[in-house]
Amino acid sequence: MKSKSRTSARSAGQPTIKTGAQIIVDMLIEQGVDTMFGYTGGVVLPLFDRLFDAPIHFVVPRHEQGGCHMADAYARASGKVGVVVTTSGPGACNLVTGLATAMMDSVPVVALTGQVRTELIGNDAFQEADTTGITRPITKYNCIVKDVKDMARTIREAFYIASTGRPGPVLIDIPVDVAVAKYSTGGSVEMELPGYRVRTKGHTKQISTAAEAINESKQPVLYVGGGVIIANASEELRALAEKAHLPVTMTLLGLGSYDQRKPESLDMLGMHGAAYANYAVQECDLLIAVGARFDDRVTGKIETFAPNAKVIHIDIDPSSISKNVHVDIPVVGDAKDILGELVKDVEYRERKRWFNKIAEWKKKFAFRYDRKSSTVKPQYVVEELCRQTESKAIITTGVGQNQMWAAQFYRFTRPRQLISSGGLGTMGYGLPAAIGAQVARPDATVIDIDGDHSFNMTMTELATAVEHNLPINVCILNNGYMGMVRQWQELFYNKRYSKSYLSNPDYAVVAQAMGAVGITVDKKADVPKAIKKMLAEKKPCVVDFRIEREENVWPMVPAGKSIDEMSGLDILERLI
């Protein structure tokens, strides 16, 4: 896997007496942590005292949820483990959304939470919450450290578990008396994880069976998920797609794993995916899933998903295999390793008829919008962002229409370029994610393509961006509605827009009040120059695009339908 933690047992050197808090900081440094996010509070005072002069860049969010998303996006942008620390009770509870987001999208995050004194646990003490109980289903692993002698080992295990196998968040709960307890740390620190094994090497026989199936296939499709990005396997994916000549479609989280400018790219599939990707999947005779998990937003009606296909599934998590869709050729292991082996055994096939068919679909059903419209179309904003940044920016998103338009109209060319809450669909993710990504990649252009209501949820973090002089860009596709909800209400609830409209503040003024730059755009003609100004700004910049109010995302697979039963294709065809 990626970012290997140091796994070897080794001595911590000369025995010295240290407090639990000092051991934590020493272990963070041992694990290569140079940046972390977090918010202080009563029971983490000993830890924050040790962090006061530690060589760690520390970013304090305005709310712990924001801090957790920042650590998550920092991890996604850098490939390293993101670290977040909060106090007990409310601090820990505020991590819940962030941890669940990281869990669903397999992001390596280590969360350290303070806890009340050991002898008070269970007494409903001030700021006490059963943190390990609350977070157990939304972490890959969690535990409470009740004895300072276990501290070093537990922290090391946390980083190892978070970053290996299918990554995920790990939470360590630390009672304040354990943080101040002293311990002589001369002994060796060996991990004790008898139940945790990671299989990286793929089964050789399975790999050659998969290669045979690929060589025999007349209509294959590669279906690629975020696992390829996590495994840093984009190069191997490119080699496989080119050598065997395979069309490639990606999930939302898979975008960036394959350069969308290449002819083999079928872009995103699924509910709001490209029609040509969905048709190709439905008609393929071989579906090669890599680091993807057959999520319901991808498969639509599961019984009729890829009905004629033999399925190869390459995944590091054995429990993903045959969970939703029957798999004919499973290969469990690290995508980088397996794709590297697989590429050796595949042969070039022209598959002319298949590629011709795909080319026709691509022509007919490309993502389109009404360019002649006089209003500000959200798709135009995204296209213009892509043009001016030459497909090179890191894009974060909110959730809903803004997220889908970003996925449809920005062209992603390299891994770790799109940072979006896919599995959990967390509104409010975009702004803190942009901050986390900018901290990880100070030189990159980072743009949060957000919705007005997603932005409303976490906009307080703008102050964090200002404080740290992070030149993030926020593009609010402002239609006043919770746009995706409104779209469903329009299509399926007889236009009864129940509670999906809220009044918004003037975002440009809000931005300026917080020390950022704020721009409002309500004319189509002003879009290019506003984006140009935004990109030239050294300060955080918020652009409030007053977009067409009732624009919809097309195509769309209605709930319960097969992915080739898309609505909106007539609209796309009319716009040719």
Partner 1 sequence: MKHIISALVENKPGVLAHVAGMFAARAFNIDSLVVGRTEDPALSRMTIVVIGDDRVVEQVRKQLAKVVPVVKVQDFVGQPVVARDLMLIAISAPPEKRPELMSLIEMFRGKVVDIGQKSLMVEVCGPESKIEAFINACKPYGIKSVARTGTIAMSRQAKTEP
Given a contact cutoff of 8 angstroms between Cβ atoms, the answer to whether 162 and 170 are in contact is yes
Q: Which residues of 377-409 are buried (b: 16+ CB within 10 A; e: fewer)?
A: bbbbbbbbbbeebebebbbbbbbbbbbbbbbbb
DSSP secondary structure code for residue 103 in this structure = H
Cα 266 to Cα 275, 276, 550, distances in angstroms = 9, 7, 28
Q: Which two tokens stand for residue 47?
A: 């830890």
Compare residues 36 and 162 and give the one whose CB is closer to partner 1: 162
Compare residues 181 and 191 and give the one whose CB is closer to partner 1: 191
The Cα 523–Cα 259 span in angstroms is 32
In 530-573, DSSP assigns E strands to 541-546
Q: Which two tokens stand for residue 417?
A: 């370029």
């900018």: which residue's tokens?
Answer: 438
The strand pairing partners of 477, in sequence order, are 451, 545
The Cα 214–Cα 200 span in angstroms is 22
Compare residues 133 and 442 and give the one whose CB is closer to partner 1: 133
Q: How far is the CB of 272 from partner 1 (least distance, A)?
A: 27
> Contact residues for partner 1 (CB under 8 A)?
132-133, 136-137, 140-144, 161, 193-196, 317-319, 321-323
Q: How far is the CB of 150 from partner 1 (least distance, A)?
A: 11
Compare residues 328 and 345 and give the one whose CB is closer to partner 1: 328
The helix-helix angle for 151-163 and 20-30 (nearest 10°) equals 30
Burial class of residue 135, CB neighbours in 10 A (0-12, 13-18, 19+) = buried
The Cα 507–Cα 544 span in angstroms is 6
Q: How far is the CB of 101 from partner 1 (least distance, A)?
A: 17
Q: How far is the CB of 144 from partner 1 (least distance, A)?
A: 8
Compare residues 15 and 318 and give the one whose CB is closer to partner 1: 318
What is the phi/psi pair of residue 543, to 5°? -115, 125
Q: Give the chain's length.
A: 576
Q: CA nearest 81: which of 118, 36, 43?
A: 36
3-state SS record for 332-366: ECCHHHHHHHHHHHCCCCCCHHHHHHHHHHHHHCC
Q: How far is the CB of 191 from partner 1 (least distance, A)?
A: 11
Compare residues 157 and 544 and give the one whose CB is closer to partner 1: 157
Compare residues 99 and 144 and give the one whose CB is closer to partner 1: 144
Q: How far is the CB of 141 from partner 1 (least distance, A)?
A: 4
Q: How far is the CB of 260 from partner 1 (least distance, A)?
A: 33
Q: How far is the CB of 366 from partner 1 (least distance, A)?
A: 39
Q: How far is the CB of 459 from partner 1 (least distance, A)?
A: 32
Compare residues 144 and 519 and give the one whose CB is closer to partner 1: 144
Compare residues 226 and 451 and give the one whose CB is closer to partner 1: 226
Compare residues 322 and 567 and give the one whose CB is closer to partner 1: 322
Given a contact cutoff of 8 angstroms between Cβ atoms, the answer to whether 35 and 439 are in contact is yes
The strand pairing partners of 287, in sequence order, are 221, 311
The Cα 149–Cα 373 span in angstroms is 67
Q: How far is the CB of 211 from partner 1 (least distance, A)?
A: 25
The Cα 281–Cα 291 span in angstroms is 16
Q: How far is the CB of 322 from partner 1 (least distance, A)?
A: 7
Compare residues 171 and 530 and give the one whose CB is closer to partner 1: 171
